[in-house]
A and B are shown apart, each in its own frame.
Chain A
Amino acid sequence: MNRSKVLLGAGRYLLVGLASAIAMVPVVWMGTMAFKPREEWTSGIDQLSWLPKDPTFDNFIFIFTGHAPKLLVAIDRVAVGPAISSLVCATLGTIIAVVVGTLAAYGVSRFKVGQNLPLSILQLRLFPPLAVMIPVMIMWAYLNLIDTWWGLSLIYGIVTLPFAFWLMMTFFDDVPREIEEAALVEGCTPWVVFWRVTLPMVRAPLATTILFVFILNWSDYAIALLLTRKDWNTIPVFMNALSTAMTGQMYGAKAALGLIAAIPPVALGILIQKYLVRGLTFGALKQ
């Protein structure tokens, strides 16, 4: 009995450890690649090293300044613009989605207005973005929104609206109504109740929603690929610029950029772990 328990425990650690190793291998390989000097980017399979033998910050210096002493080539576009673009557009998109989504969620959850709104918003997530982008690209061109921060922020706000709306709706549904009703009877207007009573009660869920939507916006690739040209390329789209005929495949530089793109969502994701299930299933499962 006892022996089988020990065996079971060991088996569990073996399997969990193996899965964790597989989960980390790609991340570690890119993470170490970011600190490898050019000579170590590619090498024969027998000399392949998992840790940089001669760690360097050259790759990071290169992507932000356009040249680094040992990297031989130079690029005229650096990662500063794309980093700003990713940050600005993901943030503004998050604000649009969360403000519009929270208001609508409160309206639907409390006042039972717009009964078919939830499903019409959900359908925004159903279709492959590329299948419905033709009219959007034409509209964006017509309105001069292509390759602008406001154009990209607007579309980000729209595509992540379903997550913000559904998440906040389930959070509002969880809040007991007695306090709000008492405030209403006391003579507060519904707006004041919403602003002064309800919102403070859902502060933590609201923060979760904001982080969740930000991660989604930050992770986008396809939309920025279609709706930006050069000035407002986001980090993932800018990665393409690091493998041209001129420079060759800049493994280390790309890895450094990838690392910068990967860190915010991974770090923020740990913060909102508790609510991930709810977020990913549009509030259908509350964990």
Chain B
Amino acid sequence: MNAVITERQVEPVPTAAHSTNNLAAQGRRVGTWMIVPAQLLLLFIVVFPLLMQIYISLTYWGPTDGVSWIYAYRSLNLFGNYVTFFSDGALWAAIARTLLIMAVAVPLEFVLGLGLATLFVDTFPGRRIFYSILLTPMMVVPAVAGYMFYMLFQSNGPVNQILSFLTNSNVQLVWLSVPHLALIAVIAADVWQWTPLVFLILLAGILAVPEDQLKAATMLGANWPQRFRRIVLPRMRTVITIVIILRLVESFKLFDVMFVMTRGGPGTATETISLYIYKQTFNELEWSYVAAIGLTLLVILSVLAVFGMRFMKHEIEVEKAMGLETVGGKTA
């Protein structure tokens, strides 16, 4: 908002009708008006709620206290919630579980997505149809995907049927009631749904690699693995970074699928950080504590984001430098 005010003040009074200076000024004025709605929405959803979250996190206020949140200061406890935060074993377990799921699911999605993408580099009959089929999972509403996998992993469901068929024995696993099996089931759902996204983006990255370089390498006798490692992979640095960051951010938020499939159960076996927060919000009604957790996550994620941005900038510069080098090499 600050920027809006200063820009409007320094703007010169229009005089001559068609001078370019005037056009630029007119443009700036219109542009300023154009971003006002977005800035108002941000003010409404970022600035005000953030102040409120800080305020509430410093109290013991809950929605059943019978007092409006404005009077939350009556139960002021300063950093009590933050102290609880560090000694809350269930919370740290939920964070560790989320990180574990991320650590298994994201690399799996990456490897499978990359493998599929390499299969789609050159054309073959039916490519378009297979491409559309492979993209379907990521279009399915996540909560519905959760329900699909809830049905598949029933003890008398298709997964056990297929496993029985493959192993030629009677497999009777109760997937969603055994902690580590439930964890496998939710990871399977996540990998099923998001491998297509990784595949889609990586394929776009591979296809963007200049063809003449690949042809030149082929003529010099490089086989596909060599071309892939020496030419394609280095050129995909940015794409790979983007896709991994995207998946890490999204899988940290993981909620819908778990909530529908297991409600975090059995026990807390599949309770991610989002599910833990949900339970604290609606079962325990510890809103001020949830506000403190949320705020802490906010700070940590923001710091990570700043580092991530720096890293991305560096990556893009490296890529640019590489591009120049090859262009130079060609002309020489």
Interface residues in chain A, defined as those with a beta carbon under 8 Å from any beta carbon in chain B: 9, 12-13, 15-17, 19-20, 22-27, 29-30, 33, 42-45, 48, 50, 99-101, 103-104, 106-108, 110-117, 120-121, 123-136, 138-139, 142, 157-158, 161, 165, 184-185, 187, 189-191, 194, 215, 218-219, 221-222, 225-226, 236-237, 239, 251, 254-255, 258, 261-262, 265-266, 269-270, 273, 276-277, 280-281, 284-285, 287
Contacts and interface: CB of A to CB of B under 8 A. Distances in A.
Interface residues of B, number: 99
A221 to B, nearest CB: 4
A130 B274 contact: yes
B192 A276 contact: no
B133 A285 contact: no
Contacts of A281: 201, 242-243, 246
Contact of A127 (B32, B119, B301): B301
A48 B158 contact: yes
Contacts, number: 290
Contacts of A16: 116, 119-120, 130, 134
Interface string B252-287: 110110011000000000000110011001000001
Given A48-B161, A127-B294, 13 more contacts: A23-B134, A26-B192, A45-B161, A99-B37, A111-B30, A114-B4, A114-B31, A114-B32, A128-B274, A135-B291, A219-B142, A225-B259, A285-B201
A44 B160 CA distance: 11
A221 B259 contact: yes
A19 B273 CA distance: 31
A54 B136 CA distance: 27
Contacts of A45: 156, 160-161, 164, 170, 172
Contact of A280 (B136, B170, B197, B287): B197
Nearest to B256: A221
**Interface SS of A by simple majority:** helix
Interface string B44-58: 111011101100100
B39 interface: yes
Contacts of B215: none
Nearest to A136: B49
B26 A189 contact: yes
A81 to B, nearest CB: 17
B192 A23 contact: yes
A219 B35 CA distance: 27
Nearest to B282: A226
26 contacts: A19-B112, A23-B136, A23-B196, A30-B148, A45-B161, A100-B38, A100-B41, A101-B38, A106-B34, A107-B31, A110-B31, A111-B30, A114-B39, A117-B38, A123-B46, A124-B45, A131-B293, A134-B287, A139-B52, A158-B45, A221-B256, A255-B151, A261-B144, A262-B139, A269-B135, A285-B238
B100 to A, nearest CB: 17
Top 9 nearest A-B pairs (CB, nearest first) are: A111-B31, A107-B34, A131-B294, A135-B49, A104-B38, A236-B143, A107-B31, A26-B148, A221-B143
B204 interface: yes
A128 B294 CA distance: 9
Interface in B144-179: 144-145, 147-149, 151-152, 154, 156-158, 160-161, 164, 170, 172
